[in-house]
């Protein structure tokens, strides 16, 4: 462990990350490659220290606020775990129990909850065009509050999933890929199929596929986005992925066949999402609280989805991948045919084969979130890690 941590600390010091300390983490593409690398390295250092029973509480007290505008299990627990790992207590803003719904402005609420907040994590992925904008509105209110002396500290924002990106997911996925393939460099030239897959539900957010194509096109990979026609992602993210690919020696293509995407893929990521145009309509209907309209939209979408039931990650299809052994990824929970639904995103046998690996994929998220927080909160993050390592204060007393 000693050598590993020394090596990690050295690598952390060498990464010239300039967009983390004192900045929010809202979109991976607002960060430079050294920032991304630093987040991965610090996540690994935190994991290593915890595995060695060394306390990583760099805060003695302080709050990590969470705002969940959608259901969540794993991100909720990942955030709670990350906060606890650093010594912070989670305090959740439950908008139903608060006065926030009653005409209180975002800028006011943002300040009112932040007097002792070091970080605020936000999930807001239901309304297309609004989730990320809401985070920025909160961020501006915090900037203003801090500048004007309302807040003693400017809490850092962590995007826990919005309408555009899901950075804690895509970075956990990237760290998982690095572990699986040995290094970021080893990802170069690897083909990943980020593919739409059938699900008997509708309205799933776009942030995961968008996050994946927006991030992995920066690492020299061959990224194929596959979906039936009509299931487009946000055009600006697709365009950004294309630009990324141009700059980084990656390639980025859009396919309308799952088979094409899977062919010779090293990695497949089959996952359902709603067409962005549907998400736009849904946003409007939700705003008008138009229940019949929403019901009708759902009916239509499910009907449309049903014409693409063959977009399933089956054992047969997996045979098309590199040596029939591509790595299957998923952000979970997956819609598993015959398990959680009749027909879904993935055949039971395929999922079962990779089940434990998807759990490991998920296991990086708490460390990614904790790393984001540490990098936002401490300029000299290597020094803080080194101090904690040398202190050797046990997380759990033992003999």
The whole-angstrom separation of Cα 195 and Cα 334 is 13
Q: Which residues, 6 or more positions from 156, have their beta carbon under 8 angstroms from its beta carbon?
A: 22, 23, 24, 25, 118, 119, 120, 372, 373, 376, 377
CA 138 to chain centre: 19
Alpha carbon distance 255, 221 (integer Å): 16
The DSSP code sequence of 221-238 is: -EEEEE--TT----HHHH
Using DSSP, state whether 91 is helix, strand or coil.
strand
Question: Which residue's CB is nearer to a second copy, number 286 or number 332?
Answer: 332
| Binding flag, residue 362, a second copy (CB under 8 A) | yes
Decide if residue 327 touches a second copy (CB under 8 A). Answer: no
Which residues inside 26-85 make contact with a second copy, applying CB under 8 A? 50-51, 55-63, 65, 68, 71-74, 76-78, 80-81, 84-85
Kindly state whether residue 348 participates in binding a second copy, applying the rule CB under 8 A: no
Q: Give the position of tokens 């596959």.
A: 226
Exposure of 33 by Cβ count < 10 A (0-12 exposed, 13-18 middle, 19+ buried)? middle
Q: Does 180 bind a second copy (CB under 8 A)?
A: no
360 binds a second copy, rule: CB under 8 A = yes
Q: Which is nearer to a second copy, 33 or 339 (CB)?
A: 339
84: which DSSP letter?
A: H
Tell me the C-alpha distance between 313 and 319, whole Å. Answer: 10
- In the bound complex, what is the minimum distance in angstroms from residue 224's beta carbon to a second copy? 28
118 binds a second copy (CB under 8 A): yes
Close Cβ partners of 72 (under 8 Å, ≥ 6 residues apart): 123, 160, 161
Shortest distance in whole angstroms from residue 114 CB to a second copy? 8
Among 104-112, 154-162, 188-196, 205-213, the segment contacting a second copy (CB under 8 A): 104-112
Residues within window 203-232 making contact with a second copy, judged by CB under 8 A: none
Contacts of residue 301, Cβ cutoff 8 Å, sequence gap at least 6: 202, 203, 274, 278
Report, in Å, the least distance between residue 45 CB and a second copy. Answer: 14
Tell me if 98 contacts a second copy by CB under 8 A.
Answer: yes
Q: How far is the CB of 16 from a second copy (least distance, A)?
A: 18
280 binds a second copy, rule: CB under 8 A: no
Indicate whether 108 belongs to the interface with a second copy (CB under 8 A): yes
The yes or no reply on residue 359 touching a second copy (CB under 8 A) is yes
100 touches a second copy (CB under 8 A): yes
Nearest CB to a second copy, comparing residues 148 and 289: 148
CB of 220 to a second copy, least distance (A): 29
156 scored as a contact of a second copy (CB under 8 A): no
User: Which tokens in the block code for residue 186?
Assistant: 């080893």
From the CB of 193, what's the least distance to a second copy, in Å? Answer: 23
Question: In the block, which residue shows the tokens 């690897």?
Answer: 190
The H-or-E segment that residue 246 falls in is helix 235-248
Give the shortest CB-380-to-a second copy separation in angstroms: 5
Residue count of the chain: 399
CB of 368 to a second copy, least distance (A): 11
Q: If binding means CB under 8 A, how many residues of this protein chain bind a second copy? A: 79
The reply to whether 349 sits near a second copy by the rule CB under 8 A is: no
If one counts every other C-beta atom within 10 angstroms of the C-beta of residue 197, the result is: 24
């Amino acid at each position: 462990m000693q050598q590993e941590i020394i090596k990690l600390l050295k690598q952390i010091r060498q990464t010239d990350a300039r967009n983390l300390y004192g900045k929010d983490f809202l979109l991976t593409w607002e960060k430079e490659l050294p920032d991304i690398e630093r987040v991965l390295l610090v996540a690994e250092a935190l994991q290593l220290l915890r595995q060695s029973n060394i306390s990583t509480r760099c805060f003695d007290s302080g709050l990590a606020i969470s705002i969940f505008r959608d259901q969540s299990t794993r991100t909720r627990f990942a955030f709670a775990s990350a906060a606890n790992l650093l010594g912070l207590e989670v305090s959740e803003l439950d908008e139903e129990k608060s006065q926030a719904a009653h005409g209180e402005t975002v800028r006011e609420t943002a300040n009112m909850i932040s007097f002792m907040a070091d970080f605020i994590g936000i999930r807001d992925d239901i309304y297309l065009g609004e989730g990320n904008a809401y985070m920025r509105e909160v961020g501006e209110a915090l900037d203003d509050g801090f500048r004007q002396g309302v807040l003693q500290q400017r809490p850092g924002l962590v995007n826990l999933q919005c309408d555009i990106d899901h950075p804690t997911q895509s970075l956990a996925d990237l760290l998982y890929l690095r572990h699986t393939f040995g290094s970021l460099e080893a990802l170069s030239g690897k083909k990943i199929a980020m593919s739409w897959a059938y699900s008997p539900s509708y309205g799933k957010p776009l942030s995961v596929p968008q996050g994946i194509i927006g991030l992995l096109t920066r690492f020299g990979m061959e990224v194929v986005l596959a979906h039936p026609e009509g299931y487009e992602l946000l055009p600006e993210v697709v365009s950004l992925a294309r630009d990324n690919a141009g700059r980084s020696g990656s390639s980025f293509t859009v396919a309308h066949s799952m088979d094409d995407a899977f062919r010779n893929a090293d990695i497949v990521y089959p996952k359902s999402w709603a067409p962005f145009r549907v998400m736009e309509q849904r946003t409007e209907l939700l705003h008008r609280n138009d229940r019949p309209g929403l019901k009708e939209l759902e009916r239509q979408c499910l009907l449309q989805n049903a014409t693409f039931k063959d977009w399933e990650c089956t054992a047969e299809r997996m045979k098309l991948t590199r040596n029939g052994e591509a790595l299957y990824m998923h952000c979970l929970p997956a819609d598993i045919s015959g398990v959680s639904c009749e027909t879904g995103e993935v055949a039971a046998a395929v999922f079962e084969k990779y089940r434990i690996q998807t759990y490991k994929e998920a296991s990086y998220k708490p460390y990614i979130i904790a790393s984001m927080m540490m990098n936002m909160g401490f300029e000299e993050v290597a020094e803080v890690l080194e101090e904690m390592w040398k202190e050797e204060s046990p997380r759990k007393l033992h003999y």
